[in-house]
Amino acid sequence: MLIRRPNALKSSEITPEPLYLDRRAWLAAAGALAVGAFAKNAPAQDPQPVGKPYGLQPDDKPTPWTDVTTYNNFYEFGTDKSDPARYAKDFKTSPWTITVDGLAGKPGKYLLEDFIKPSTVEDRIYRHRCVEAWSMVVPWRGIPLADVIKRAEPMANAKYVAFTTLMDQKQMPGQQLGVLDWPYTEGLRLDEAQHPLALLAVGVYGRTLPNQNGAPMRLVVPWKYGFKGIKSIVKMTFTDKQPKTAWNISAPNEYGFYSNVNPAVDHPRWSQAKERRIGDFLRRPTLSFNGYSDQVASLYAGMDLKKNF
């Protein structure tokens, strides 16, 4: 079985935290030539997934690295699934600044290294379910979103946190097209955001996050559709109003604010009852909350999830 618990690992197999936090050091160590240049960085074999499998069945196998890093949605680099790996190669992710603003007791601008450092970086293997009825099992590496929120000291009237992706039409040519309302935005209710499963990922498969997966930092909310996983985050805003989200602005009848994986609510153009795991031939039943019901269903107690889709 590919999934191993941390205590089954030799210490030599675990990338030391300072090494992977320092992108340049990692790249040098890997002998890589360009940041996120997938073709050049591709390991000869799949890197070993490490970390704690969250909510997985014993036969849920991590999706191969090649699929996780070449079958992507990142419209800033093109709308084809293969575009991000091809066109995000030279995207500059260091230095990277994150702004915390809105209803926060500790607003400010932080360098990524300082933003992450006070937290423990964890390896976690989650299901990642995309709306077009396919899913993956992905070994993400990151810090609990709840840690960052705690440090920001949201004010008592803050009910939501909004996220914004970098706006840079030169580096992200997709932003010159009207496919979405740029910059890409997302949001969570504050209690959802503080749930221990929500992660700010800086790596995948024990490696620094490739550009096409949202370097240098992206959101992972395992019980929601993949589009909630906003990439290349530059801003977190605490607010008392439900934030606008890129996909909800684009197609409000197809993509709601909540975006919980729900096999009982069809997307207007296709059924959500089944999904195809990337790499599998047959489809399998989609699980409520992507298989995380026991942990997260209570967040939505009493809500009509057909209306709040």
The least CB distance from residue 75 to ligand MTE, in Å, is 4
Nearer to ligand MTE, 213 or 290 (CB): 213
Q: Is the dihedral of CA 53, 228, 235, 92 positive or negative?
A: positive
The least CB distance from residue 110 to ligand MTE, in Å, is 19
Distance, CA of 87 to CA of 302 (rounded, Å):
44
Burial of 37 (0-12, 13-18, 19+ CB in 10 A): middle
Nearer to ligand MTE, 250 or 288 (CB): 250
Nearer to ligand MTE, 36 or 154 (CB): 36
For residue 196, the surrounding DSSP H or E stretch is: none
Strands 134-144 and 274-277: parallel
Nearer to ligand MTE, 4 or 81 (CB): 81
Overall residue count recorded for the chain in this entry: 309
Nearer to ligand MTE, 213 or 237 (CB): 213
Q: End-to-end distance of the chain based on CA atoms, in angstroms?
A: 35
Structure tokens at 158: 């803050």
The least CB distance from residue 129 to ligand MTE, in Å, is 9
The least CB distance from residue 235 to ligand MTE, in Å, is 12
Q: Is the peptide bond before 210 cis (omega within 30 degrees of 0)?
A: no
Nearer to ligand MTE, 74 or 110 (CB): 74
The least CB distance from residue 72 to ligand MTE, in Å, is 3
CA atoms within 13 A on the CB side of 88: 31
Residues at the contact surface with ligand MTE, assessed by CB under 6 A: 72-76, 128, 130, 165, 184, 213, 226-227, 229-232
Q: How far is CA 146 from CA 83, 169, 199, 256, 259, in A?
A: 32, 31, 8, 23, 20
Nearest residue by C-beta to ligand MTE? 226
The least CB distance from residue 202 to ligand MTE, in Å, is 13
